[in-house]
Amino acid sequence: MQLTLTLNENTLTAPESISKASCPSGAPVSGAACTLYGEICQYYPTPCHGDTLYSTKSECRSGVWQTKTVEVVCPECPSSVPAAGDACTSDGEVCPYHPVNCHGDEIYNTTSICVGRTWTTRTGQATMKPQPSHCAATGDVITEGDAVFAQESGCRWTTDRDEYKTVLRSGDCMESVWVVASEQLPFQGCSGMLHVVFRSDEAKARDINDVMEVIVDGETKLVHNNDGCNPVNCPTSIPWTAEYKELRIASKSSNAQFHRHMMIYDISFEPSEIRCDDVL
């Protein structure tokens, strides 16, 4: 990679300069005045296998900048997996091999890393395999009521009116949590997409800052507030992996009136054609 630097009165103009906020926006010419003794600024970044290399470095010494420019060459990965112990030239270089496409993403079964000028290689078990036989598309799993979504805390709004479907919505309380343990999940051990449909309340007195959260294995994956999803529902989706164990729904409101609360109207699962495992 050949870098062309254009001289400007006191700087070498850089279209891209990455450094600290105290650094000049462009690389200073050697001899230009500086005030922060020991300050080091780097310019002209080049991405390199997940790292960043810089061709120009300026250092403030004795009140003036000392700028050095070198040619940056990102070393190419070997065309095939290097043997452990083979020589390499750039410590920290990471080279991935044997990609597997998994739902649009690439996962790698083998990674080689340059450590102490020699290659170290590790191999995992990134695989694609058929889904288990029970992994089928589901309808709305909320309709199964407490058999799937057990009440962990708070309260749940219910109705005996036939025209109302079963939903997840807090009753006359401010916070509620429903949880589905692994043995209750009809799509446990499956990979695919989890579809969640939110509906906000239509009352003008509702608090639009009320929220409902979809939490998977303790990590919040979806959050929606009490606005913008009525009369048209808001469908959302998140990837679901075979390793997930627990699905939890949390509802948080500033008031305890059920008729101002939002709801999750529908939760369903769509399996992918394959299941991906990556244990690297």
> Does residue 160 sit in the same domain as residue 269?
yes
> Residue 233's pLDDT is what?
93
CA dist., res. 158 & res. 168, Å (int): 9
Is pTM, for the whole model, over 0.85? no
> Does residue 26 sit in the same domain as residue 47?
yes
Residue corresponding to tokens 């979504």: 149
> Residue 3's pLDDT is what?
36
Query: How many other CB atoms are there within 10 angstroms of residue 222's CB atom?
Result: 17
Alpha helices in the chain (DSSP H): none
CATH of the domain at 204: 2.60.120.200
* Residue finishing a domain among 43, 69, 95: 69
Specify the number of domains making up the chain: 3
In a domain? residue 133: no
> Does residue 37 sit in the same domain as residue 120?
no
> Does residue 22 sit in the same domain as residue 48?
yes
* Residue finishing a domain among 50, 69, 88: 69
Residue numbers of the domain that contains 87: 76-124
> Does residue 163 sit in the same domain as residue 41?
no
> Does residue 164 sit in the same domain as residue 248?
yes
Residues 6+ apart with CB under 8 A from 227: 200, 206, 208
Question: In a structure prediction context, what are the per-residue pLDDT tens digits for the chain, which is 280 residues long?
Answer: 333 333 333 333 333 444 454 788 889 999 999 888 888 999 988 877 666 888 899 999 888 999 999 887 777 888 889 988 899 887 777 888 877 666 556 677 788 888 888 998 887 655 666 778 888 888 888 875 566 888 899 999 887 666 677 899 999 999 999 998 767 788 888 888 899 999 999 999 999 999 999 999 999 999 999 999 999 999 999 988 888 889 999 999 999 999 999 999 999 998 876 666 644 3
Overall residue count recorded for the chain in this entry? 280
> Does residue 62 sit in the same domain as residue 160?
no
